[in-house]
Amino acid sequence: MAAGLRGLLGRPLRFPARLMSAEAGERRSPARAFETLRVTPERDHVLHVELHRPEKRNAMNSAFWREMVECFQDIARDSACRAVVISGAGKIFTAGIDLMEMGSEFMAVEGEDVARKAWNLRQKISQYQETFSVLEKCPKPVIAAVHGACIGAGVDLISACDIRYCAQDAWFQVKEVDIGLAADVGTLQRLPKIVGNQSLVNELAFTARKMMAPEAQSCGLVSRVFPDKATLLQGALDVASAVAARSPVAVQGTKVNLVYSRDHSVPESLRYMATWNMSMLQTEDILKSVQAAMEKKGPEDVPFSKL
């Protein structure tokens, strides 16, 4: 095997000039101005999406639910982006739904009778579910960096992210039962699969008690805890940079198959994987990566083309 690879890679790969340019062939979505989000490029191929209503504790108003979908659909199409970090501006990550603004959204549902009102309300709930499902559908890995409070819909948001980190001051609360409803945009569906402890999820969802950072790490909701917000963001961006240095074909294919495997049986997932890789294994990224390894170089030294 090794001899075969050395024979295959006996001559250095000749990368076309268009692949050597960091800007060549990029598909960037048009820049948008968001009311509730701030999107900035922080590192090579890494975007930082910040919940940006600090004066309102990043509470999620009607504009937020629309803009998250627009933002991550743009990111999914942006071939220059390979990883994303989500954080919150100000003192906390998010206070969840903006009850003052959003209450009327559900209280004033149109319809001539109960059936029609229910139909329209179901459509509205489905739209709000997409606000966080879009994080899973985006093939770029998404890292949540949580500081301070992460309340209600904030837990729905981070449950749809691929990696979750927090600061020592972070706490999490499935708040919905305290305002008279069952969480309906992702927590009840994703959290049990994240922490693997149905009893704990039931307790959190039934009582709305706070979960502090040490418990969040011990149960698997977050994988790392940092001393403060500054080191949290630095750590999250460092990991995003490490992700972005790898082959985008490999990384994005890995995410797609991890999400698929979570919701399907092992045999189904293996069939899906085989179908996926029957084309993706033909990428030049494999030859480039192997040659770099044989030359004792890291992935960051490989000029992977955009995806």
pLDDT tens-digit readout, 138-188: 999 999 999 999 999 999 999 999 999 999 999 999 999 998 999 999 999
180 with 216, same domain: the answer is yes
Whole-prediction pTM = 0.88
- The verdict on residue 3 lying in a domain is no
Q: Tens digits of per-residue pLDDT, 278-302? A: 999 999 999 999 999 999 998 888 9
Give me the residue label for tokens 């909701």.
221
Cα(82)–Cα(176) distance, integer angstroms? 34
User: How many residues make up the chain in this entry?
Assistant: 307
Among the candidates 198, 216, 244, a domain finishes at 244
Range(s) of the domain holding residue 228: 25-244
Look up tokens 């890494």; give the residue. 46
- Distance in angstroms (rounded) separating the CA atoms of residues 158 and 58: 14
Structural domain count of the chain? 2
Output the furthest CA–CA distance in the chain (Å, rounded): 74
The Cα–Cα gap between 268 and 266 comes to 5
Residue whose entry in the numeric block shows the structure tokens 């995806």:
307
My answer on whether 73 and 181 are in the same domain is yes
In this prediction, residue 102 has a pLDDT band, given cuts at 50, 70 and 90, of confident
For 235-303, give the secondary structure using H, E and C. Answer: HHHHHHHHHHCCCHHHHHHHHHHHHHHHCCCHHHHHHHHHHHHHHHCCCHHHHHHHHHHHCCCCHHHCC
Same domain, 303 and 191: no
The answer, yes or no, to whether residue 4 has pLDDT greater than 60, is: no
Query: Could you tell me if 148 and 39 lie in one domain?
Result: yes
Whether pLDDT at 273 is above 50: yes
What the block records as the tokens of 172 is 């999490």
